[in-house]
Structure 1
Amino acid sequence: MKWRTLIATGLVAAFSAGAGTAEEMFETFDTNPSKRWAYFADTVMGGVSTGNATFERDASDSYVRLSGEVSTDNNGGFIQVRRTLTDRLADTTKGVRLKVRGNGGTYYIHLRTKGTRLPWQYYQAQFTTSPDWTDVQLPFSAFKPSGSFLKKTQRADTVTSVAIVAFGRDHTALIEVSEVAWF
């Protein structure tokens, strides 16, 4: 009887391993997220957008709130909150998953890699928010380079940072993110 249990356990493990892509939780915004995430705005290059990133908690979630006024005046147009990766992603990682809510606007994830050497270089994927918490999955194939000097696609094991970004148009930004995971 004992060997049947071992075989059954082995089969379950084998099928589970191939059944889906494992997910690695990257951030839940608990325990001092302000030490891991940094706020940036286009003011670093002469833009005039204003905003902030605050770390909040409600009855069920801890989250970051990115809010402000994005302005394209003076060649600007972004506010963001960014975290540098301390460990390399596995080369089998397929993308990023977020748990988000917001004002219904379109927002972006920017990935920087070992190949994005200039401050204005990144890979970008967009998503839309709603007032309710929603899971958003962005495969790496959805990320587009910010310029023609970058490779068309990025490799997971070259990603060095991830940013939540309000970008590219004049608008009032309000986005909250409670989870960031790699899948």
Structure 2
Amino acid sequence: MKVLSLIICIMIVNNLILFDFNKDSTLANWHVVNDGVMGGNSEAQFGINSEGHAVFSGEVSLENNGGFTSVRYRFTPIDVRSHQKVVLRIKGDGKTYQFRLKSSLNDAHSYAKLFTTTGKWQTIEIHFADMHPRFRGRVLNSPNYPGESLCEIAFLIANKKAETFCLEIDEISLN
């Protein structure tokens, strides 16, 4: 029984909540970045709904060589060496998204992993070792995310088609 209690305590201590959305959450450090930075016409919003969940929604347009939109959250770098994965509590619309992170704001690339939503609340676990380096839609020939430092997290939709989308986010944590 003592061993089980110890294991549960270790699991709780090892869980780091990066963002737990609620009706009082401030979104001041969250920023939408659309393909307008390169001439595209995609549009997105990021806000809190009446249930207290974050909502990333909008319309991806392929006009003017566009085709993506994202929302990102930057923060003071944290050491993540005691964690192995990101855990997302989300509800999507059946579409595929990317979860992205950066280990340094000086890096041009991000580390990303695609996930597909089901239309119901789901918990997505993304192991650091499965996050591939990407830059402007291309996978780079570089090592995957080393899981040492973290300073930015983001959600991106870029499915090479014009579409509306809606992703609800309840919690983002590390485990």
Inter-CA distance 20–27: structure 2 relative to 1 (3 Å threshold): closer
* Number of residues of Structure 1 aligned to a counterpart in Structure 2: 170
Task: Find the partner of 2:157 among 163, 166, 181.
Answer: 166
Match of 1:143 in 2: 131
Whether contact under 8 Å (2:14, 2:82) holds in the other structure is no
For 1:103-123, what per-residue CA distance to the aligned partner results, in whole angstroms no more than 9, with x for missing partners?
Answer: 1111110112227622xx211
> d(CA) in 2 for partners of 1:102 and 1:15?
32
Task: Find the partner of 2:76 among 58, 72, 86.
Answer: 86
Match of 2:112 in 1: 124
Task: Find the partner of 1:66 among 56, 59, 75.
Answer: 56
For 1:21-43, what per-residue CA distance to the aligned partner results, in whole angstroms no more than 9, with x for missing partners?
Answer: 82111111233331131111111
Whether contact under 8 Å (2:67, 2:158) holds in the other structure is yes
Whether contact under 8 Å (2:96, 2:159) holds in the other structure is no
> d(CA) in 2 for partners of 1:46 and 1:136?
32
Match of 2:46 in 1: 53
Residue 151 of structure 1: how far off its partner (Å): 3.2
Inter-CA distance 87–122: structure 2 relative to 1 (3 Å threshold): closer
Give the percent of matched residue pairs that are identical in Structure 1 and Structure 2. Answer: 23
Whether contact under 8 Å (1:71, 1:169) holds in the other structure is no
Gaps of 5+ in 1: 1-7
Whether contact under 8 Å (1:106, 1:126) holds in the other structure is yes
Whether contact under 8 Å (2:130, 2:144) holds in the other structure is no
> d(CA) in 1 for partners of 2:151 and 2:77?
8
Match of 1:28 in 2: 20
Residue 18 of structure 1: how far off its partner (Å): 6.0
Whether contact under 8 Å (1:26, 1:181) holds in the other structure is yes
Match of 1:182 in 2: 174
Q: TM-score, structure 2 length as denominator?
A: 0.83
Q: Secondary structure at the match of 1:86?
A: strand
Match of 1:41 in 2: 34
Q: Any residues of structure 2 matched to 1:99-110 within 5 Å, and which?
A: 99-110=89-100
> d(CA) in 1 for partners of 2:98 and 2:104?
20
For 1:69-92, what per-residue CA distance to the aligned partner results, in whole angstroms no more than 9, with x for missing partners?
Answer: 112333322111111132413312
Gaps of 5+ in 2: none
Task: Find the partner of 1:134 among 111, 119, 122.
Answer: 122
